[in-house]
Amino acid sequence: MKKRVTKAIFPVAGKGTRFLPATKSIPKEIMTLVDRPLIQYAIDEARAAGIKDFIFVTSRGKSALEDYFDHSPELENTLRKAGKDDLLATLKTTNMDSGAIAYIRQHKAMGLGHAVWCARRLIGNEPFAVILPDDVIAAEKPCLQQMVEAHAETGGCMVAAMEVPPEKASSYGVLDVRQDNGETVSVQGMVEKPPVDEAPSNLAVIGRYILTPDIMRNLSRIKTGSGGEIQLTDAIAAEIEADRDVFGYRFRGQRFDCGSKSGFLQATVAFGLGREDLRDEFDDYLRELMSMRQAAQ
C-alpha cells in the first residue's frame, strides 16, 4: 500500500539578492504578488494537495516569515470590532495550527539538495513533497494536487515538468525520457542546464517534487559539486541508476518564475487580471498604457 504524501519541505533560506534593496529587510518569500506573499501561494497549493505537515528550511533574517504564519490577536480583534468579517476570514487563512509547521535552519548555503537534506529527521520513512515558492503556478487544479493524484498511481519519485522552447532548455534541468505516456513520462536521466544542441528533450523540471525517503539517503552520500553545493538533481539521478522509478509530470497550468524580476512582473499582471475585483480597472489601464506606447512610436 502506497503511503499518502502529507509532508512538504519549503526551501526558503535564499537571500533573494536579485530583489535588492527590497530583500535587505524582508524575506523574498514575503514579497507580495497582488495582495498575497509568494509563500502564501505555495502554502495554499500544498493544503489543496492534502499536506498536513509544513517544513520550512530557513536561514538568518527570516523572522518575518515565521511571524507571518503566527496568530495576530490584536489585528483580529480590530477587524472583528470593525465588522470587517471578509478581511478577518482572509487573515485567518494565513494562520497555521500549532505543531503543523516546523522551522529548520540551513546554516550554510550549500544548494537545494542540502536544504532538503536538512529536514531529513522530520521526514522519516515517508514520501514527501518539495515546493519552491519562486515557481508560482496558475492552474484550475493546483499543480501539487495534480501530482499527488498521479503519484498515487505511479509511486516512485515525480518531478513537475513543462515543455520549453528548445533554445531555452539550457536554462533548466532537462529530462531524458524513456517512455512518454502523455501526462506522465518515465525518466532515464536528468541533465542540468545542457548545451542547446545536447539537450535530451525540451521537458524542463520546475519547482515541484514528490520524493521517496531514499532521496534523503542519497543526499547523505553525495559530495559537494561545483560551487560547494549539493544538488537535488544528483540525488534523483541516483534513483534512476538504482533502477527505481522516476517520473516527470506534465502539469496543467501556467508557471511564472517569480525568482526573476521579469517573471514577478508577468505574474503580477496575470494574477491581477485573474481577479474579478481588479480585472476591469486593471485591464483598462493596461490597454490605455499600450495605446500610449503605440502612439509614441
- pLDDT for 1 beyond 70: no
181 vs 226, higher pLDDT: 181
Task: Tell whether 126 is covered by a domain.
Answer: yes
Task: Tell whether 222 is covered by a domain.
Answer: yes
Percentage with pLDDT > 90 across the chain: 48
Task: Tell whether 164 is covered by a domain.
Answer: yes
Distance (Å) of CA 36 to CA 62, 94, 114, 275, 290:
17, 10, 28, 12, 27
Question: Cis omega (within 30 of 0) on the bond before 21?
Answer: yes
Whether residues 109 and 189 share a domain: the answer is: yes
Q: CB-based contacts of 247: which residues, under 8 Å, 6+ apart?
A: 150, 154, 156, 157, 158, 159, 184, 185, 186, 187
Could you tell me the sign of the dihedral formed by the alpha carbons of 79, 81, 86, 91, in that order? Answer: positive
The average pLDDT across 63-71 equals 80
Whether residues 292 and 215 share a domain: the answer is: no
Whether residues 13 and 129 share a domain: the answer is: yes
pLDDT of residue 227: 67
Burial 124-149 (b: 16+ CB within 10 A, else e): eeebbbbbbbbbbbebeebbbbbbbe
**What nine digits make up the cell of 48?**
489543496
Whether residues 17 and 108 share a domain: the answer is: yes
Question: How many domains, in total, are found in the chain?
Answer: 2
Task: Tell whether 167 is covered by a domain.
Answer: yes
pLDDT of residue 230: 85
pLDDT of residue 205: 92
Residue 105: pLDDT band (50, 70, 90) is confident
Task: Tell whether 1 is covered by a domain.
Answer: no
Q: Which residue has the cell 493596461?
A: 286
- Report how far residue 270's alpha carbon sits from residue 210's, in angstroms, rounded to the nearest whole number: 27
Q: Find, among 89, 109, 85, the residue nearest to 17 by Cα.
A: 109
Whether residues 154 and 68 share a domain: the answer is: yes
- Containing 60, the helix (H) or strand (E) segment is none
- Report how far residue 88's alpha carbon sits from residue 170's, in angstroms, rounded to the nearest whole number: 45
Residue 173: pLDDT band (50, 70, 90) is confident
Residue 252: pLDDT band (50, 70, 90) is very high
- pLDDT for 271 beyond 80: yes
Percentage with pLDDT > 70 across the chain: 98
| Domain boundaries, position 282 | 270-297
- pLDDT for 46 beyond 60: yes
pLDDT of residue 253: 94
Residue 6: pLDDT band (50, 70, 90) is very high
pLDDT of residue 162: 92
**Per-position DSSP letters for 86-114, written without gaps between them:** HHHHHHHTT---TTTEEEEE--S---HHH
Q: Where residue 207 sits, what CATH number does that domain have?
A: 3.90.550.10
Task: Tell whether 85 is covered by a domain.
Answer: yes
**What nine digits make up the cell of 107?**
546554516
Whether residues 134 and 85 share a domain: the answer is: yes
Whether residues 198 and 57 share a domain: the answer is: yes
Bridge partners, residue 251, by sequence: none
Task: Tell whether 30 is covered by a domain.
Answer: yes
216 vs 202, higher pLDDT: 216
Whether residues 219 and 289 share a domain: the answer is: no
pLDDT of residue 225: 65
Whether residues 74 and 141 share a domain: the answer is: yes
- pLDDT for 233 beyond 90: no
Task: Tell whether 291 is covered by a domain.
Answer: yes
**Would you say 141 and 74 are in contact if contact means Cβ atoms under 8 Å apart?**
no
**Would you say 176 and 205 are in contact if contact means Cβ atoms under 8 Å apart?**
no
Bridge partners, residue 156, by sequence: none
pLDDT of residue 226: 59
Record the pTM: 0.89
Whether residues 42 and 173 share a domain: the answer is: yes
Q: Report helix, strand or coil for 135.
A: strand
Residue 68: pLDDT band (50, 70, 90) is confident
Burial bucket for residue 2 (CB in 10 Å: 0-12, 13-18, 19+)? exposed
pLDDT of residue 159: 95
pLDDT of residue 292: 87
Whether residues 224 and 289 share a domain: the answer is: no
- pLDDT for 265 beyond 60: yes
Whether residues 143 and 275 share a domain: the answer is: no
